[in-house]
Every structure is written in C-alpha cells, then in structure tokens.
Amino acid sequence: MNQPEIEFEHVVKRFGQTTVIPDLSFTINKGEFVTVLGSSGSGKTTTLKMINGLWQPTSGTVKIGGKELTEHNQVDLRRHVGYVVQQIALFPHLTIKQNIAVVPKLLGWEQAKIDQRVDELLDLVKLPSDQYADRYPAQLSGGQQQRVGLARALAANPDFILFDEPLGALDALTRIDLQKEIKNLHASLADKTFFFVTHDINEALYLGQRVMVMNRGRLEQFASPETIVQHPASPFVEELLATEERNQELWRRLQ
Ligand SMILES: Nc1ncnc2c1ncn2[C@@H]1O[C@H](COP(=O)(O)OP(=O)(O)OP(=O)(O)O)[C@@H](O)[C@H]1O
C-alpha cells in the first residue's frame, strides 16, 4: 500500500519580492525513487531545502511521514535525513572512517556499533575498509569522495535521502558507474525514499521510478519515465526531450 512520506500542500516560497515557488503540491510515497529535472533556477534546490527544513515555506504545508514539518524537532529531523550534494564537504582532518561516523557519534551510538556500521557501509559503496577507512579525503578521487558522501548519508539509517546534483562534477564514466550503484543501492535498501535532483535528462529517466519535471517553480509533469517520454504533458517537457533527440541526431550524423 502507498504510504505518503513527503507531502507538499499548496507550498509557496518567496525570497523578498520574488516568488520562486508559486503553488506546489505533490506526494512522494515511502520507498520511491523520485528524480527532479528542470532548467537552472526552476526551484529544484529550493524544494529540496524545504523538505529537510533548511528553508520554511512562505505559506502552505510540508509534511514528512504524515506529520507537519514544523511539528518535527528540526535538529532531530536533519540527523535522520541523508543529504548528498555535489561539493561533498568531507572534514579534511578526519579519516574516511571518522567522516562516516559523524552522525552516529552525534546520536550517541556505542563505538563497537559504529565500527561495524562503517565497515558495512564502506562495503556497500565498494571502498574496501582495509584500504580506505584510515585515509584522509584528500587521498581519494572525486568519485571515491562521492562514495564516502553516500556512505555518510546512509550512516544513521535515515528514512529518506536527498541528493542535490551529486554526480554533476564527475567524468562521464565515473558518473555512469555511480548511477548504476545508486540504483542498485535503492533496490537493495527496502523502503528508503530517494529524492534526487539533476540537470541530466538521461540520469533522471534512468534512475527515477517517477520523474518530477519543474519549470519556474511549477510542476510541468510528475510521472514515470515511460509516460514522460511517450506522453509529454506540456511544450516545456517536449522541448526538454527534444534536446536529447538533437544529441542522438548528432550521433547518427557522426557515425
Ligand atoms: N536565498 C535566496 N535568496 C533569493 N533568491 C534565491 C535564494 N535561493 C534561491 N533563490 C532564487 O530562487 C530561484 C530558484 O533557485 P533554485 O536554487 O531552487 O533553482 P534550481 O532549480 O535548483 O537551479 P540550479 O539547477 O541552477 O541549481 C532562482 O531564481 C534563485 O536565484
């Protein structure tokens, strides 16, 4: 049965005189993998930051797990939400193991439980503990640092994970590699909700069980990748898909 995990009800967000989100409503169910696609400035990051309480809506309601965001303890909520961003800010003076252990430590876990969890997570993101646990972030490649970021986001076993362009700075091959792993990870972690913001149309269509297309703070379409490709709901979505068709045309011409 569908169980709502993240709900927006007529959410409006203004910065000063500028309305960034005019009226946004949607529901994401527990365990869903939702990708968010849209042009620059369309309000993707603003939406994401209202989910973890970094920003409050100007009006309207955000509910997490059926409870209004304002009723949650904000510090507690943030510790129970995983957050993976493009410029992953690992603590440079802490080892990989210590970086992953930050939130469990804040939550007061016993050391033995933390050690076990770190090993398990390094295994999950394919960075063998014996080789990587005691290194410092500067001794890792960008792709490896993103893997650590992913492990850190999963550390305290959060109900949902927010991704803000996590693969944007990586080369194409590393990016495809990590896309596959994130998809597998979601499939293997029962009931974890992923909310993944990206500029990349292929990434959005490959990863998302449903894709949210945003334009100027509005939802143009929120549907499965198949529906979006077969039945684009607006000229904006058509135009977005056409950019990809132009790429394919270029390839055909070059072959
Ligand atoms: N703190 C702020 N104060 C004023 N305006 C802001 C603030 N944060 C974001 N905005 C504006 O809100 C709009 C939406 O920004 P947002 O970062 O959500 O877009 P985005 O879709 O994530 O864009 P991008 O893909 O480029 O990251 C932009 O026009 C931006 O300039």
Last residue within a domain, chosen from 122, 157, 192: 157
Q: Which residues contact 181 (CB under 8 A, 6 or more apart)?
A: 125, 126
Beta bridge partners of 197: 36, 164
pLDDT at residue 185, rounded to an integer: 87
Q: List the CATH number of the domain containing 68.
A: 3.40.50.300
Which one, of 63, 6, 57, lies nearest residue 222 by Cα? 6
Question: Looking at the structure, do residues 220 and 167 belong to the same domain, yes or no?
Answer: yes
ipTM over 0.90 threshold:
yes
232 within a domain of the structure (yes/no): no
195 within a domain of the structure (yes/no): yes
Q: Which amino acid is at 80?
A: H
239 within a domain of the structure (yes/no): no
Q: pTM of the predicted model, to two decimals?
A: 0.90
pLDDT at residue 1, rounded to an integer: 63
Distance 46 CA to ligand 1 centre (A): 6
Which one, of 216, 233, 182, lies nearest residue 23 by Cα? 216
Distance 245 CA to ligand 1 centre (A): 28
pLDDT at residue 191, rounded to an integer: 87
164 within a domain of the structure (yes/no): yes
250 within a domain of the structure (yes/no): no
Question: Looking at the structure, do residues 18 and 132 belong to the same domain, yes or no?
Answer: no
Distance of CA 177 to the CA centre of its chain: 17
Distance 47 CA to ligand 1 centre (A): 10
Question: Looking at the structure, do residues 109 and 44 belong to the same domain, yes or no?
Answer: no
145 within a domain of the structure (yes/no): yes
Strand locations in 79-209, DSSP E?
Answer: 81-85, 160-164, 193-198
- Does ligand 1 come within 6 angstroms of the Cβ of 144? no
Last residue within a domain, chosen from 157, 178, 212: 157
Q: How many domains does the chain have?
A: 2
236 within a domain of the structure (yes/no): no
Question: Looking at the structure, do residues 140 and 50 belong to the same domain, yes or no?
Answer: no
Question: Looking at the structure, do residues 33 and 153 belong to the same domain, yes or no?
Answer: no
Q: In testing the pocket of ligand 1, which one of 24, 44, 164 has its CB within 8 Å of the most ligand atoms?
A: 44
Using alpha carbons, list the distances in angstroms from residue 124 to 31, 86, 116, 128, 141: 19, 20, 12, 9, 18
Place of tokens 């960034």: 20
Question: Looking at the structure, do residues 8 and 127 belong to the same domain, yes or no?
Answer: no
Structural domain for 186, as ranges? 1-80+159-225
Per-residue pLDDT in tens (0 to 9) along the chain, 255 residues = 689 999 999 999 999 999 999 999 999 999 999 999 998 889 999 999 999 888 999 999 999 988 898 888 877 777 778 888 777 788 999 999 999 999 889 888 999 999 999 999 998 888 999 999 999 999 998 888 988 998 898 888 888 899 998 888 778 888 898 899 899 989 988 789 999 999 899 999 999 999 999 999 999 999 999 999 999 999 999 999 988 888 888 888 888
